[in-house]
Amino acid sequence: FRKGVNVINGKAGKADTELKWIYYFLNTFLDKGDEFLLETENIFITCTSCQRELVMLKHLVENVLGKKIRIVVKGNRSIPDGETLLSL
């Protein structure tokens, strides 16, 4: 992850913390239980690609593995996207 990851459209995801967070969860906690509550606090609301990754994680955990998961993302709604964040 230090070198970044490539997302579907070919853009680098070097600062894509949601991917790192999902990777850490899958490798560290997935085999430790059958029900999970994942909660994160972000500077701004999660971008659409990160939202997609969280939906894919939920699908994997619930529909493929038969476990329960609840994902809560807390963010500052006054900063709707990365462009706004960078302009501050």
How far is the CA of 21 from the CAs of 50, 82, 87, 88, in angstroms?
11, 18, 25, 25
Spatial distance between the Cα atoms of 59 and 82, rounded to a whole number of angstroms: 26
Helices (H) and strands (E) in the chain, counts: 3, 2
Report for 21-25, 37-41, 62-66, 82-86: range of highest mean pLDDT: 62-66
pTM as predicted = 0.70
Spatial distance between the Cα atoms of 78 and 64, rounded to a whole number of angstroms: 36
pLDDT tens-place string over residues 19-48? 788 888 999 999 999 999 998 877 666 667
